[in-house]
Amino acid sequence: MFPRYLLDREVLFRGVGLHSGVDCSARVFPSGKKGINLYRDGSLIPLDRLEWDGDGRGTVLTLPDGYKIRTVEHLFGAIAGLGLDEVAVDVVGGEVPAMDGCASSFADSLSGAGLTEDGFLDPVRLDSPVAVDDRSSGRSMVALPYDGLRVTYVVDYPGTAIGTQCLSTDLSRDNFIDRIASCRTFAMMEDVETLRKNGLSLGGSLENAMVVDGRKVLAKGGLRFEDEFVRHKILDLLGDLVLLGRPLAAHVIAIKAGHSMHQRLVKEIAKRRISED
């Protein structure tokens, strides 16, 4: 079961973009229109009318007029994790603000604006497994029929403080709030300079990200969970699954995946739905 909640009043988030480093904002407000929609020039645009892709460092939406919005996954993860419906998102500045690098700021502010429980969401259900893989890198994902949303995620960063981490959890609303929302994004120290040369992570700092330097973790206040890294990957996945336009009822198993693999899985599930329709 996927409890459905309506947002009582709008919430405005301001900050800098994790990748752009420029000021940006995201306004989330009740739309009266089913699902999660993007607001642009007075119009509400459903997710199935958007193009989306990514470079492995986040998810980028392209609206019908060509306007691009990047790094939507943490905000979308909060919206999905709270079970919100009939909301619109208006992003100014081309990127959702990084806030604290996770979903806590989004989830806390949305909850603080008032949520009204109103029935249940209608999920996408599978009648057979859907799988994607990249054999050259050992990355793979499979979505299995399941009553609810369960995620089993494995990350593997040998020779680093992360090592191999695995977590399997049902993504109930309470589990999301208590175990996933506060887990921050991260980068490897050796990747930071390359990212910035490529125009990425320009707004990244220890205020909104963790940095892994070999066997050391640079994180404000220390780790929030011993396995915070794999928990953050689950947050990213939840945000990317929003691109289906409806919640997914499935057990999703991800091995060394990331945004690009998440997006491939979403596209495969979407194709399956189209062929069945």
- Which one of the listed residues 19, 251, 259, 262 is annotated catalytic? 259
Question: Is position 165 within any domain?
Answer: no
Q: Quick check: 189 and 7 in contact, CB under 8 A?
A: no
Answer yes or no: is 74 a known binding residue.
yes
| Within-domain flag for 110 | yes
**Domain count within the chain:** 1
Inside any domain, residue 39 = yes
Q: For tokens 């780790």, what's the residue?
A: 223
- To the query of whether residue 259 is one of the catalytic residues in this protein, the response is yes
Q: What is the pLDDT of residues 154-193, one digit of tens each?
A: 999 999 999 999 999 999 999 999 999 999 999 999 998 8
DSSP secondary structure letters along 138-183: TEEEEEEE-SSEEEEEEEEETTSSSEEEEEEEE--HHHIIIIITTP
- CA 166, CA 264: separation in Å to the nearest integer? 21
Question: Is residue 262 domain-resident?
Answer: no
19 annotated to a ligand binding site: no
Q: Does the annotation place 232 within a ligand binding site?
A: yes
Whether 270 is covered by a domain: the verdict is: no
Q: Rounded to an integer, what distance in angstroms lies between the CA atom of residue 216 and that of residue 237?
A: 25
Residue 115 in any domain: the answer is yes
Torsion of CA 108, 161, 140, 184, to 10 degrees: 10
| The predicted structure's pLDDT at residue 31 | 98
pLDDT category at 54 given cuts 50, 70, 90 is confident
Domain that holds residue 52: 3-121
Strand partners, 61: 52, 69
What is the per-residue DSSP string for 78-98? Answer: HHHHHTEESEEEEEESSB-B-
In a domain, 61, yes or no: yes
The model's pTM: 0.96
Contact yes or no for 220/186 (Cβ under 8 A): no
* 92-145 pLDDT tens trace: 999 999 999 999 999 999 999 999 999 999 999 999 999 999 999 999 999 999
Structure tokens at 168: 């399997």
Q: What is the SS3 assignment for 44?
A: strand
CATH of the domain at 32: 3.30.230.20
Q: Is residue 55 part of a domain?
A: yes
- 38 membership: H or E segment, kind and range: strand 36-40
